[in-house]
Amino acid sequence: MRPTSRLAAVLLPLLTLAPALPALAADCDAWKAEVWEVEGGKALTAHICTPATGDDREPMLYLQCGEEGAFALRFDDGGRGDPPDGNPEWSGRVVFSDGKTKLDVTMMYEAMDGVLYAPAAFSGPLTKLLGSGSEITLTPDEKAFKARRFTLRGSSAALGRLAPTCGAR
């Protein structure tokens, strides 16, 4: 067997597993603005992740165009994706903090995706907090969801790319 054939024979099975592997640390180094496939087609998405550990899913924080004047902010804590007490209409407080500023945000559970959702006004305090600083910690009051820390490196550029597509100026 030629060396290139041997290499291909070894790499091909690994490449077919790639979509199933958790994010590599480098994938979570900085915010990105990328087009994602969504229910209604495609959507530009500003996002950041934290590499998954153990059997958890990959924790993510992401924004897409939302209701008029706001982004749709979603937080996936990487856990099981189940609402507290099985209540699909759960909502509760999540504290967003950069170490200096703390914002209380009421987030609602979205059963279809198993994530938490809140609108974030284009020029509101939450969007400003996400667009500056070095990192942000999200701490849900509800212990069914895990607290997570995300870098803010590149968030301003990613949000700046997303905003005009949502009608923000």
Q: Which residues contact 134 (CB under 8 A, 6 or more apart)?
A: 98, 151, 152, 153
Model confidence at 35: pLDDT above 90: yes
Please count the other Cβ atoms lying within 10 Å of the Cβ belonging to residue 79. Answer: 15
pTM: 0.82
Q: What is the pLDDT of residues 89-114, one digit of tens each?
A: 999 999 999 999 999 999 999 998 99
Q: Does domain 22-166 have CATH number 3.30.590.20?
A: no
Q: Which residues contact 17 (CB under 8 A, 6 or more apart)?
A: none
Strands 32-38 and 41-49: antiparallel
Q: Which residues contact 142 (CB under 8 A, 6 or more apart)?
A: 84, 90, 92
d(CA 76, CA 8): 36
Measure Cα distances from 137 to 14, 41, 50 in Å: 34, 31, 12
Per domain, the residue ranges of the chain are: 22-166
Q: What is the pLDDT of residues 64-96, one digit of tens each?
A: 999 999 999 999 999 888 898 899 999 999 999
Q: What is the pLDDT of residues 8-29, one digit of tens each?
A: 444 334 333 333 334 455 589 9
Model confidence at 137: pLDDT above 90: yes
d(CA 118, CA 73): 5
Measure Cα distances from 91 to 1, 25, 98, 123, 159 in Å: 60, 31, 23, 23, 25
